[in-house]
Structure 1
Amino acid sequence: MSLKAGIVGLPNVGKSTLFNAITKKNILVANYPFATIEPNVGIVTVPDERLTKLEEIYIPEELKPATFEFVDIAGIVKGASLGEGLGNKFLSHIREVDAIVEVVRCFDDKEITHVDGSVDPIRDVEVINLELALADLEIINNRIDKIKKKAETTKEKETVLEYNALTKAKEALEKDIPLRLVDFTKDEMFAIKGFNFLTLKPHIYLANISENEIKLENYYVKKLKEYAKGENSKVIVVSAKIESELAELEDSDKEEMLNELGIEKSGLDKLIEESYNLLGLKTYFTCGPKEVKAWTYKDGMNAKECAGIIHSDFEKGFIKAEVISYN
């Protein structure tokens, strides 16, 4: 099951630096807008202490952890929905991801320019969120115009349902309510699923702070957390500079550095875990002398459906499964 989160934000907020640290890939990092044009993709392993324990028990020839895909999408600017910057090209890349990680600058540094000339995390997230909403509204309006007449005259349930769901979505966005906060029915969700609406995707804010404030909650972070609370989103605090240094270290040295900083987990480990949880993903394991492997499944799937993740024939011919609780 391949799922991915898109890393978005204004230019020069630390997106590419954080992406490098997450994936240990050396992509271009530059102090000017649009250093990233085409999206960069990185596959990371999901931290899981259970897998480590199972490896100790089975001593397998091969260990295969669960993986998660991150996509570094070029910086969005005000007016992107109208084609500003690299405009709709960026927005189309975001539509392909399952969740959105929005990097927000929460530090002062005269050496690093800000596209708007000053640091203001709330202004920044509102710029991004407005562009996502406007992009969704454009699709909604176009579709409503196309099916309105038919919806008002037909007895075709699917068309009427789609029209009503889109009208509900339009009304929410016009009130600055992202679609992920709208109480759609199961049928309504099915009707609009194919549009891949940006504001319907699960959302995390990643507050990028200076290395000197890693244990503090500065003014910018507090403001961002207040904002996120209002839309039931999470904020994860990281320092791109520290994460870059950690990414270059061996595990033992990394643990030592975290201890020196007084941090239990790196910000990026928290991000990977939270992204995994945000999408309602869980893990089961198959174990043996040849291989211990983590398999990703959606919360709520039954044993038969989980068997199908390994191979479709296992689901078709499923009789029963022997399940052992980790605890």
Structure 2
Amino acid sequence: MKLGIVGLPNVGKSTLFNALTKAGAGAENYPFCTIDPNVGVVNVPDKRLEVLNDMYNPRKKTPTTIEFVDIAGLVKGASKGEGLGNKFLAHIREVEAVAQVVRCFTDNNVTHVDGDINPLRDIEIINTELILADLSAVERRMAKTSKMAKSGEKEYIEELQELELLQNSLEEGKNIRQLDLGEQGQRLVKELQLLSAKPIIYIANIDEGDVGTADNEMVSQVRKHAAGENARVVTISAKIEADIAELDEEEAGLFLEEMGLKESGLDRVITAGYELLDLITFFTAGEKEVRAWTVRSGSSAPEAAGKIHTDMQRGFIRAEVVSYDDLIASGSISDAREKGLLRLEGKEYIMQDGDVCYFRFNV
């Protein structure tokens, strides 16, 4: 599961990526510092894993992860090949969701590609380029489908109607993710890898002095725009997060406490990205290891078992399941079993976030 970090040049994308991954990606003050995308695997913060670790005291503790991809800064005209246009757009096609970093800070030492700070304009530039790229893809498909539809075959006539709907919406400046599409429309979106269909969160990169305070005017503008798309906004100071990332766990905790913060901005970004991808976490726990696993919301028990090993999915018999809350309230797995809170679930069971599982299988 990959989440692409996008934005105009010099908005703090690579600084954020560095803080997320401590990977040392380039973060220089000039456009196109990031050319080939950097990929970092990041642990998903989850206090439940820590509690389970204390309960079982295993030899190993393993968190679940999410991948972040730092994609080159986009400029106006990317859909027509400006800047790193085509390469940039191709990299976005490879991710499942998008985190758009929006500059909401002022710093005369950090240039802006358009000369001044205007977050709504920046958002519009990127959204417009994605929409134009999608429009081009839809029109190419329409040209092909139109020829096939002349045969009178219902399949091609219906597809052409769906493509016209997409074309009209894109020409009106609407992102595909804002449309309520039927099964055929969703199929076309997937086949054409439409960029504006990808779910999005906006990351408002603010001044260091604004951390822990009320939203500044620029952040308020971003929130208002995001509300119109039913999208989330996370505010961070990428520079501060980069500094925190260099501290050990205890020092970072003290730093956050001094600033009156319960968690880092990075944790909020990671959690928001995880939720954006429609992912849930289940756990396995024992003396050897306590581990968090990721599946898509709506996954069945056999599919979850397959995340551990394909043989477990192939030979799935049943799952022993207890919710995290019930397990913690009981104090131990044996007490949960005695109270009837440990359930036996079959192949049709749909996994819930926080399930603690033991899978039985035979191959």
TM norm structure 2: 0.87
Partner of 1:197: 194
Q: Which of 7, 13, 16 lines up with 1:15 in the alignment?
A: 13
User: Aligned residue for 1:293?
Assistant: 291
Matched, 1:24 2:22: yes
Cα distance change, pair 210–296 in 1 and its aligned pair in 2 (3 A): same
How far off its partner does 1:131 sit? 0.5
Aligned letter for 2:240?
A: I
Q: Deviations over 1:235-273 (max 9, x none)?
A: 110001110111011111111111111111111110100
Alpha-carbon separation, structure 2, partners of 1:66 and 1:14: 26
Residue 319 of structure 1, CA deviation:
1.9
Query: Relative contact order (alpha carbons < 8 A, sep ≥ 6): 1 or 2 greater?
Result: 1
Match of 1:208 in 2: 205
Offset at 1:156? 5.1
Choose the corresponding residue for 2:312, options 301, 311, 314: 314
1:238 equivalent among 222, 236, 239: 236
Q: Point out the structure with max Rg over C-alpha.
A: 2
Contact 1:166 1:192 in 2 (8 A): no
Cross-structure match for 1:84? 82
Cα distance in 2 for partners of 1:273, 1:219 equals: 25
Corresponding residue for 2:330?
Answer: none
Change (3 A) 1:151 1:242: same
- Separation of aligned partners in 2, 1:164 and 1:119: 41
Equivalence for 2:332: none
Counterpart code for 1:151: A
**Aligned-partner Cα distance in 2 for 1:194–1:143:** 10
5+ residue gaps, structure 2, are: 326-363
Deviates more, 1:133-142 or 1:296-305: 296-305
CA contact (8 A) 1:205 1:234 kept: yes
**Alignment partner, residue 166 of structure 2:** 169
Q: What do the CA deviations read for 1:66-92 (whole angstroms, capped 9, x no partner)?
A: 100000000000000101001101110
My pick for the range that moved more, 191-200 or 104-113, is: 191-200
C-alpha displacement of 1:151: 2.6
C-alpha displacement at 1:185, in angstroms? 1.1
Structure-2 change in CA distance of 1:193 and 1:278 (3 Å): same
1:160/1:48 CA distance change after superposition, 3 Å:
farther
RMSD: 1.3
Would you say the 8 A contact 1:121–1:220 is kept in 2? Answer: yes
Unaligned runs of 5+ residues in structure 1 are none
1:52 aligns with 2:62: no
Distance across 2 between alignment mates of 1:318 and 1:239: 46
Counterpart-to-counterpart distance in 2, 1:324 and 1:253: 36
Letter of the structure 2 residue corresponding to residue 195 of structure 1: L
Range with bigger deviation, 192-201 or 113-122:
192-201
Letter in 1 for 2:199: P
Aligned to 1:155: 153
Between structures 1 and 2, the one with greater strand share: 2
Task: Say which is worse superposed, 37-46 or 169-178, in terms of deviation.
Answer: 169-178
Deviation at 1:153, TM superposition (A): 2.8
Is the Cα contact below 8 Å between 1:181 and 1:231 reproduced in 2?
yes
Alpha-carbon distance, 1:320 to partner: 1.2
Aligned residues: 324
**What percent identity do the matched residue pairs reach?**
50
User: Are the counterparts in 2 of residues 165 and 192 from structure 1 also a CA contact under 8 Å?
Assistant: no
1:321 is displaced (CA, Å) by 0.7
**2:65 equivalent among 58, 64, 67:** 67
User: In 2, distance between residues paired with 1:88 and 1:221?
Assistant: 30
Where 2:241 maps in the other structure, the secondary structure is: helix
